[in-house]
Structure 1
Amino acid sequence: MIPYNKPFLFVSLIAISFASKAQVVKDANYLWYNKPAQKWTDALPIGNGHIGAMVYGGVEKDFIQFNEATLWSGAPRNYNHDSAYLYLPAIRQLIKEGKQAEAEALAEEKFMGLKYPDEATYQRLYADWRNKQRKDTSLSAVGVNNHNWAELTLPNPEGWEQFGYNGIDGNFWFRTEFDLPESLAGKDLVLHLGRIRDEDFTYINGKLVGSDNGRTVHRRYTIKAADLKPGKNVLAIQVLNYNDKGGLIGSKGSLEFAFSTPQDLKTPVLNLSKTWKVKVLDTEPPVAPAYQASYQPFGNILMYYPQQLTNVKNYHRWLDIEKAVSGVRYQNGDTTFTREYIVSNPDKAMALNLTADKSAAVNFSIAFDSYQVIKSVTGTDGHTLLLNVAVKGWALKGNAYLTVKNYGGRVKLVNNTLEVSAADSATIYLTASTNFINAESVSKEPSAAALNNLAKVRAKNYAAVKQAHIADYQKFFKRFDVHFGTSAAVVKPTDERILNYTHQSDPALIALLTQYGRYLLIASSRDGGQPANLQGIWNDNLTPAWGSKYTTNINLEMNYWPSDILNLPEMNAPLWDKLAALTEAGKKTAKVHYNLPGWVLHHNTDLWNGTAPINSSNHGIWPTGSGWLTQHIWQHYLYSNDIAFLRKYFYILEESARFYDGFLVLDATSGKYISTPTNSPEHGGLVAGAQMDHQIIKSVFKSYLKAAEILKTADAALVKNVKSKVDNIFPNTIGKYGDLQEWMEDKDMRKSNHRHVSHLWDVYPGNGISWKDSAMMNAAKQSLLYRGDEGTGWSIAWKINLWARFKDGNHTLKIIDNLITTADIDDGATQRGGLYRNMFDAHPPFQIDGNFGAAAGIAEMIVQSHDGFIDILPALPDGLPNGYMRGLKVRGNLELDIFWKNGKLQKLVVKPGTNGDYQFAYNGKYKTVKLKKGKNILLTAW
């Protein structure tokens, strides 16, 4: 496989600069850079909810990596563990008796969802493959000639996938040499290798000195003096990697790639080279079992520009989020070259337009490739390439077409590469589709949609495609505007702005982050497509972090936090479609795992709508993902007052309430209904009575009862049951440290930096705790203080929203400052949350939820409407004294323009979408206003 993770080096591009800074100042919604992308998180994202692409923008060579939203691993199958419900009483009893370990063990065996392939089949196949790989260990010998082996810098914290071996599992050999000084001769030493994925066989001078298996196991082998010799020694490691990331990945904070003495394991006495030789012998291990599927990269576009680089200057790479257009411009000699990149929703295609300010100056070649192991490229005519891919071992395959329209000059097909010479300009169109129809069917002809879209778009010129694209995009984007002030920093490249950011020096970067979140949502979540996943619609790894799927114990929900408040309700459409499909899948899981009616979803799902518990019983049995997602339906109704919408999706809410009505257990000790078994997401193991569950279920019940009252069509018996239970669910409780308890038992620690703040759900995104109950609100605040202000990217974003709900604007701004820090530290290694150079959020690695959560939280500083009234500037920080937000939406179907100056409200424009009496609050004072649909009013401070 060609290693395109680091596709091109741009070392020949020297002395480049940006000439016209005035253009940047003119348009605040603008990311720009004075050099090409060196890695994926430098590249700029474009998308239309169906196709997503990452633009690198090289001069000699360009690279565009693209995805199609329905290319995943996996296949239609049953995810549910037959008869799991039979073990539910025993699991509950073990938890009740305080036997958590036993409960988790039983649940692990009998209650988790099904992997595919099954474990027994896989173990048999893997044993056969492993034995085959172990038959020949000759590459461990001293005299092996490894001069022609590839080189790899170790360790690779993110796996070798990031360094040219994307998605490759199998049998790898690594070799290096070290010189043992006379001072260490005759002594036993300890070899520290850090963590290795997955199994290693480590040799020194041809002798096996250690072996272990497990990606979390730190390799530390004692080497006898007799196995070492003064002078040159050879270290060889066979690594068998069978799934996900692979390689020698090191040990953050521990000794790695070094020898120590047995007496002092912390002090290195001899360091190994970081550069190793590597040889790949076999890349065909059996497909490893997986609970759920992973989002997949589709293909790559490789472009080569043959012009002689004489004096490259004025290089400028940009993403204009006002228009959803990315581009590159530079001057080579006396010619200026410009490239523009868009992904059009109206035309369902990506377009790349190349121009120059001189005639016959556009020359390039263009080719297709893919990280997928199963792939082929063919020329279908003299202007068009076809890329066929299939996800190895799974059901999905796809086709992408790339066609070139040249204006002047000529196009020639040579060895499946299109060569364009002496053109005045050229436009490239790309379309892609797969055989996916829905989670039950993969019978679609993969070329059908791609060919249809290609035929339509290639009949148009670029100007028409671009105009339709911008018009379609701006009808959503331009509804909203935000301004926090400007400064000299706005003329700097975006990566420099992130690196040097303070809110005092660059308040405009906070506004850009807000609008960037809106841009990313429009680009990754459009009607008829899939919802935004953990990485939106962008992914370049065959084995992406967390499968780049849908994690439903915070992350999928966070993706849609900004949709209503930031005036993008149409972007919810894929989420509604997903919820409808999950409801049907979740009914089967509710029956098989709980023997209950209604529907349930645990903490993850994928393209195929898996709803059973996954990963591990100590965090995977969390039955309130479905409940949380139903609240997006209710909240959207509150924002829109759309009765037809509520009527259409009410059944999803009702079936969720039906499940929890049966699931809750009456606790004999407290006399309250509790959730069991469950966990507080990814914290504390399998328990009874996690407070987040109780908060969500109570919210489901309350919203269901309100919706039932509005629609008058609910199940009367269910309504009666829910009414009898809603106020008898275990309540929020203040613990001994004055904090809000995360569990029924008072076992919270004062100091915990755990990334999840699950028990604060009732503060945000819920509304079960507010300043109407100051004691409970202060307890929640104390919990957040104990958690601290740092965290992974999405965790920081959640804290932005929470501090805004606490109405502490200065602390909210402090958390925003924590998020706007560069994630690219330690020579590019990802070590912390923050923002990458392209403003993607770092978990790390990249997760898009932090972008979306931050955008929502910034809006919550300016307006809140969850507590029965509309609170204006509830958490305005001192550090943002002047600004405006125009086009905010609030519950009750109102749109607001809010302006403030010197920290005080200047004016408020209210645009009603519904008649009614509305209560507004500002600075602790309330005003009730009668509003009429379509009649805007102006309010000033009161």
Structure 2
Amino acid sequence: MNSNFIKNTFLVFVFFSFYGKTVAQSNHVLWYNQPAEYFEESLVLGNGKMGATVFGGANSDKIYLNDATLWSGEPVNAKMNPEAYKNIPAIREALKNENYKLADELNKKIEGKNSESFAPLGTLEINNSEKGKAINYHRELDISNAISKVSYEMAGIKYTREYFVSAPDQIMVIKLTSDHKGALNFDINLKSLLKSNVEVRSNILGMTGFAPIHENAGYAVLPKYLDIKERGTRFTTLVQIKKTDGKITSFGQTLSLKDATEAIIYVSVATSFNGFDKNPATEGLDDLAIALQNLNKSFAKSFDQLKESHITDYQKFYNRVTLDLGKTSAPDLPTNERLLRYADGKEDKNLEILYFNFGRYLLISSSRTMGVPANLQGIWNPHLNPPWSSNYTMNINLEENYWLAENTNLSEMHLPLLSFIKNLSVTGKVTAKTFYGVNEGWASAHNSDIWAMTNPVGQFGKEDPSWACWPLSGAWLSTHIWEHYVFTQDKNYLKSEGYPIMKGASQFFLGWMITDKNGNLITSPSTSPENKYIAPDGFIGATMYGGTADLAMIRECFEKTIKASEVLNIDGDFRGKLQAALSKFHPYQIGKKGNLQEWYFDWNDEEPQHRHQSHLFGLFPGDHITPLKTPDLAEAAKKTLEIKGDETTGWSKGWRINLWARLWDGNRAYKMFRELLRYVDPDGKKTEKPRRGGGTYPNLFDAHPPFQIDGNFGGAAAVAEMLVQSDENEIRLLPALPDAWETGSVKGICARGGFEIEMNWENKILKKVSVSSKTGGKTTLINGDKKQDITLKKGEKLEINW
């Protein structure tokens, strides 16, 4: 062949690829040329309640099913340790005497039960009668419409499958087709790790069962079933086939279709969960009736009707934000190969956009059930004994799940968390009194579950106080209420629901704090989540007083509660109490290494590179430490991050990227963002040189490891944080833009004050910005040294050539 022809063809290829005309990789499709073998290779779908994990096998397809409301347990007995608070004076006395070992032991006396577990509902299997080798296999997830597809050829016949989980119709739909008449022959089975019964009635395959009632006591023991009537959450799964031709038959626990050309499988799930305070057995919903109603309503509709309403509903959220990071020369590769290439340092801007988009996709897909926020695994858990019970870990992980809710224009997805916080404030009133001896307000601790458990965990004294004993989550969670208000300007919500919860959190801390020998307000006892200090005598412990993280979170809680009372013009006297308390807080301390001190004294950490950086809360997600307002503290925070280093777990890296973004160091943030996307092998995969550690699995799930969804959410939030930062008075545009993103545009990012931003930039210089206001208001736009004050009416849009 002519060498010039080859050369010219190559140049054309490079030209088109470079300018993104033909082969540039997608920023909204994950795709693979083989089925998933491991959970971390599967593709996930969800409607905010029902979760489906699709493997896409040719001979046999496996789909894990979950329901966000299926947990072990029942409403928590908040009075489980009614006299625990009586130990507080002794702990404080031991700390006053600097007897940290005794304080650590005594702190165990204010522990309660562990959380319940998120349960796996079951597995749907589609087994094809024809067995053979599949060729031209393709599997994908298109996150622009929340639809997964599989196609392959076998014995000269092309087979396709299309999957989605609909929010409007509360149904999972799977469409199977063949390009030869009568070539579809398959069996469907259901099974569950939970106690269950499977049968076929009237050509509907049904599975009913119930979740265990006891928490998984030590993370290493399987939940025990007790055969006690009227205990535990019931569940129902129903499966029905709609066919164009062929014959539906059943045998035992199997539903079959023979000699069909096209078929639609409808999957309906429901549970008896009826709220955190209702017994799911005696006061539960009728799960069978709900599942059947959703099935019948959906079955009466065509596939196209169901698909259209699903896409319309999903895209009204997803399409609000678009991101472009400029030209890319990355080739068109399967997503797993794309990650491997990226891990070798290659450019793939559209993979970075895909990761951002995927974070938003996961939040829409896992957070649409009031009172039931996304857990450690979103809603996708195949394990009877999931890592960390797949619970709500509230010393970072639950909150990190929602960092992208408001700024990436998914405010509605924040509501499940906000309604859950309201539930916590109910059980938390009892916890405040019985565990901490505080009679006003509410408290919540390190772990929770669907039952809004608020007590400190630890199996009544068996666990380490470094993680079990921490009453601060109410302070952190209450700031989410303010965030929702300040982004949406929804004063009705703030008045009717939000502010009373914020006030209750603040009331608890007013009653909890004591004064130190200098007359400053501190917490005692105090821990810094999951970290330990080394005392001067060599003792390694967790229980302390005046921890920096405690004071940072309470400061943020008080400041936001004050602002809320000012907005509503109520509670002047209470506001005064908070202001007086803030003026007496033990101040931040900068240690001998130039770092922000984590402990009351300048003590070393047992693990200097510890994954938690809770004492940097004031920098992010808080906002009372900034390079401008508090340059010394910001510099100390930077030093702390440098000491900790960049190598850490998935969710922790997600947090650190946001922290570097708040320090306006875009290149350091981008370096760690790339590391967050480092390829990690599936947990069970055996390879000669396995790639392990924190990063990203082949299906873009975050590797803690194991899988935790918080890293996905934290990483996606960080992209927005690099592009736009805001407070009640100003909006910073491109505050942490890395060199790698020198040219680009974004549309739909939200800013505090009820504003929405659209902008584009070239060579790292802002060119044009468009600001619209949801409710009307004023703000100051800032980019570099340039500022511009703007005032907009409700619905008004202002375009500025910067």
Question: Which TM-score applies when normalising by structure 2?
Answer: 0.90
Is 1:33 the counterpart of 2:32 in the alignment? Answer: yes
Cα drift, residue 369 of structure 1: 0.8
Is 1:581 the counterpart of 2:404 in the alignment? Answer: no
Q: What secondary structure is seen at the aligned counterpart in 1 of 2:39?
A: coil
| Match in the other structure for 1:254 | none
| Match in the other structure for 2:513 | 664
Q: Please, which of 734, 741, 750 is the counterpart of residue 597 of structure 2?
A: 741
| Match in the other structure for 1:357 | 179
Tell me how far apart the structure 1 counterparts of residues 489 and 555 of structure 2 sit (CA, whole Å). Answer: 22
| Match in the other structure for 1:501 | 342
Cα drift, residue 541 of structure 1: 0.5
Tell me how far apart the structure 1 counterparts of residues 767 and 41 of structure 2 sit (CA, whole Å). Answer: 39
Cα drift, residue 882 of structure 1: 1.4
Is 1:610 the counterpart of 2:466 in the alignment? Answer: no
Tell me how far apart the structure 1 counterparts of residues 558 and 758 of structure 2 sit (CA, whole Å). Answer: 34
Kept after mapping to 2: 8 A contact 1:383/1:411? no
| Match in the other structure for 1:162 | none
Cα drift, residue 930 of structure 1: 2.4
Tell me how far apart the structure 1 counterparts of residues 146 and 313 of structure 2 sit (CA, whole Å). Answer: 10
Is 1:639 the counterpart of 2:487 in the alignment? Answer: yes
| Match in the other structure for 1:155 | none
Kept after mapping to 2: 8 A contact 1:619/1:686? no
Q: What secondary structure is seen at the aligned counterpart in 2 of 1:728?
A: coil
Q: Please, which of 741, 764, 773 is the counterpart of residue 912 of structure 1?
A: 773
| Match in the other structure for 1:712 | 569
| Match in the other structure for 1:491 | 332
Is 1:786 the counterpart of 2:643 in the alignment? Answer: yes
Cα 1:481/1:303, change in 2 over 3 Å:
same
Tell me how far apart the structure 2 counterparts of residues 710 and 869 of structure 1 sit (CA, whole Å). Answer: 17
- How big is each residue's C-alpha offset from its partner over 1:412-459, in whole Å with a ceiling of 9 and x where there is no partner? 011221111111211111111122212222132331321221121111
- How big is each residue's C-alpha offset from its partner over 1:263-313, in whole Å with a ceiling of 9 and x where there is no partner? xxxxxxxxxxxxxxxxxxxxxxxxxxxx11011100101111122536x32
Tell me how far apart the structure 2 counterparts of residues 567 and 590 of structure 1 sit (CA, whole Å). Answer: 35
| Match in the other structure for 1:440 | 277
- Map 1:723-734; keep pairs closer than 5 Å: 723-734=579-590
Tell me how far apart the structure 2 counterparts of residues 673 and 348 of structure 1 sit (CA, whole Å). Answer: 51
Q: What secondary structure is seen at the aligned counterpart in 2 of 1:844?
A: coil
- Map 1:389-404; keep pairs closer than 5 Å: 389-391=210-212, 392-393=225-226, 395-404=232-241
Cα 1:750/1:104, change in 2 over 3 Å:
closer
| Match in the other structure for 1:142 | none
Tell me how far apart the structure 2 counterparts of residues 830 and 389 of structure 1 sit (CA, whole Å). Answer: 38
Cα 1:26/1:831, change in 2 over 3 Å:
closer
Tell me how far apart the structure 1 counterparts of residues 116 and 390 of structure 2 sit (CA, whole Å). Answer: 9
Is 1:474 the counterpart of 2:315 in the alignment? Answer: yes
Q: What secondary structure is seen at the aligned counterpart in 2 of 1:564?
A: coil
Cα 1:910/1:447, change in 2 over 3 Å:
same
| Match in the other structure for 2:128 | 305
- How big is each residue's C-alpha offset from its partner over 1:25-45, in whole Å with a ceiling of 9 and x where there is no partner? 585201000000011111101
Cα drift, residue 761 of structure 1: 0.5
Is 1:836 the counterpart of 2:697 in the alignment? Answer: yes
| Match in the other structure for 1:366 | 188
| Match in the other structure for 1:186 | none
| Match in the other structure for 1:264 | none
The code of the aligned residue for 2:451 comes to W
| Match in the other structure for 2:258 | 421
Kept after mapping to 2: 8 A contact 1:486/1:506? no
The code of the aligned residue for 1:929 comes to I
- Map 1:119-268; keep pairs closer than 5 Å: none
Tell me how far apart the structure 1 counterparts of residues 369 and 331 of structure 2 sit (CA, whole Å). Answer: 34
Gaps of 5+ in 2: 1-19, 213-224, 533-541
Kept after mapping to 2: 8 A contact 1:894/1:911? yes
| Match in the other structure for 1:594 | 436
Q: Please, which of 526, 550, 559 is the counterpart of residue 401 of structure 2?
A: 559
Percentage of matched positions with identical amino acids? 39
Tell me how far apart the structure 2 counterparts of residues 343 and 713 of structure 1 sit (CA, whole Å). Answer: 45
Cα 1:25/1:401, change in 2 over 3 Å:
farther
Tell me how far apart the structure 1 counterparts of residues 95 and 631 of structure 2 sit (CA, whole Å). Answer: 33
- How big is each residue's C-alpha offset from its partner over 1:492-530, in whole Å with a ceiling of 9 and x where there is no partner? 000111111056521211111100000000000014362
| Match in the other structure for 1:675 | 523
- How big is each residue's C-alpha offset from its partner over 1:397-420, in whole Å with a ceiling of 9 and x where there is no partner? 211111111111111011221111
| Match in the other structure for 1:763 | 619
Of 780-789 and 327-336, more deviation after overlay is shown by 327-336
| Match in the other structure for 2:246 | 409
Cα drift, residue 489 of structure 1: 3.0
Cα RMSD for the two superposed structures: 1.9
Tell me how far apart the structure 2 counterparts of residues 907 and 76 of structure 1 sit (CA, whole Å). Answer: 53
Kept after mapping to 2: 8 A contact 1:298/1:389? no
| Match in the other structure for 1:102 | 102
Q: Please, which of 155, 158, 164 is the counterpart of residue 342 of structure 1?
A: 164
- How big is each residue's C-alpha offset from its partner over 1:791-813, in whole Å with a ceiling of 9 and x where there is no partner? 00000000110010010111011
Is 1:693 the counterpart of 2:550 in the alignment? Answer: yes
Is 1:775 the counterpart of 2:632 in the alignment? Answer: yes
Q: What secondary structure is seen at the aligned counterpart in 2 of 1:447?
A: helix
The code of the aligned residue for 2:513 comes to L
- Map 1:618-637; keep pairs closer than 5 Å: 618-637=466-485
Kept after mapping to 2: 8 A contact 1:71/1:398? yes
Q: What secondary structure is seen at the aligned counterpart in 1 of 2:355?
A: helix
Cα 1:395/1:96, change in 2 over 3 Å:
same
Tell me how far apart the structure 2 counterparts of residues 26 and 754 of structure 1 sit (CA, whole Å). Answer: 36
Is 1:827 the counterpart of 2:675 in the alignment? Answer: no
The code of the aligned residue for 2:337 comes to E
Tell me how far apart the structure 2 counterparts of residues 593 and 397 of structure 1 sit (CA, whole Å). Answer: 32
Q: What secondary structure is seen at the aligned counterpart in 1 of 2:406?
A: helix
Kept after mapping to 2: 8 A contact 1:613/1:622? yes
Cα drift, residue 924 of structure 1: 2.4
Cα drift, residue 556 of structure 1: 0.3
Is 1:324 the counterpart of 2:324 in the alignment? Answer: no
Tell me how far apart the structure 2 counterparts of residues 940 and 748 of structure 1 sit (CA, whole Å). Answer: 51
The code of the aligned residue for 1:401 comes to L
Structure with larger RCO (C-alpha < 8 A, sep 6+): 2
Of 443-452 and 384-393, more deviation after overlay is shown by 384-393
The code of the aligned residue for 1:557 comes to E
Tell me how far apart the structure 1 counterparts of residues 607 and 454 of structure 2 sit (CA, whole Å). Answer: 34
Tell me how far apart the structure 2 counterparts of residues 67 and 749 of structure 1 sit (CA, whole Å). Answer: 40
Tell me how far apart the structure 2 counterparts of residues 554 and 801 of structure 1 sit (CA, whole Å). Answer: 13
Question: Which TM-score applies when normalising by structure 1?
Answer: 0.77
Of 794-803 and 382-391, more deviation after overlay is shown by 382-391
Cα 1:730/1:300, change in 2 over 3 Å:
same
Of 48-57 and 454-463, more deviation after overlay is shown by 454-463
Gaps of 5+ in 1: 1-20, 116-290
Cα 1:788/1:457, change in 2 over 3 Å:
same
Is 1:70 the counterpart of 2:52 in the alignment? Answer: no
| Match in the other structure for 2:717 | 856
| Match in the other structure for 1:381 | 202
Of 594-603 and 382-391, more deviation after overlay is shown by 382-391
Cα 1:539/1:355, change in 2 over 3 Å:
same
Cα drift, residue 383 of structure 1: 4.0
| Match in the other structure for 1:653 | 502
